[in-house]
Structure formats: structure tokens, C-alpha cells
Amino acid sequence: MLLGMVLASWSMFIAAPFGTNPQLAAVVTLFLGIATAVVGHAIDTSKHALMILFSVMCPPSFYVFAIKAICGFENHQLPALYSKGDPDRGITLLPFVLIAIVSLHLCEKD
């Protein structure tokens, strides 16, 4: 649910400059969302600061990082915990959830 709200508010934030051309706004938003998700997938997961910074600048990468963390727990049949790093990559979910909540509120104000 958090991902949907983050992507919706981010999409409206990106589409705002294209007020007179909604088709162009949709294409640009879709392209940027896919591009940032692909770049987020290519980032080295051992660099947590880079992942957090990229998640702040590009909220669609939140989904990629959260899924990587949850899959790390699932591979070892453990429940996903926000405060602990996953056993495979050491990604902690809590910073990404907090960033998603903050970016949701920042994008809604614009």
C-alpha cells in the first residue's frame, strides 16, 4: 500500500510541469519510473548509503530495495523484520520505509 501511494505522489510530482500535455506527462513518468527501477536494481547492495540516497532522489527504487530485502528473508524462511538486515545482503527495511513515508509527504505538498 505504501508503494502505491509513493508512486502515485511521485508520478503527480513528475507530471506537474506537463500540465497542458497529459500524454507526454504519462510517457515521461513511466520512462523515469522504469529507468530508476533498473538503476536501483544495478546498485551494489553493500553500499547502504548509496541505496538510501538513491531512494530519496528516486522513490520508485524503494520497491526494488524492499523486494531485495524481503527476498533475503524469504530465502532463509525467516519473517521479514524492519530493524534487522536480511541474511543475504544485509539490507535493513526500516530506513527505506521511513524514506518512503517522508517522500510521500513531501510530494503531496507540491
Instruction: Extract the C-alpha cell encoding 68.
Output: 531485495
**Per-residue pLDDT, 6:** 80
* pLDDT tens digits, one per residue of 88-110: 888 888 988 888 888 777 665 54
Q: Quick one: pLDDT band at residue 77, thresholds 50, 70, 90?
A: very high
**Per-residue pLDDT, 20:** 86
**Per-residue pLDDT, 108:** 59
Q: Quick one: pLDDT band at residue 31, thresholds 50, 70, 90?
A: very high
Let me know how many helices (H) and strands (E) the chain has, helices first. 5, 0
Checking phi first, is residue 92 left (phi over 0); if not, alpha (psi -120 to 50) or beta? beta
**Per-residue pLDDT, 35:** 92
Question: Identity (one letter) of the amino acid at 69?
Answer: A
Spell out the domain ranges in the chain. 2-109
Mean predicted confidence (pLDDT) in 16-25: 88
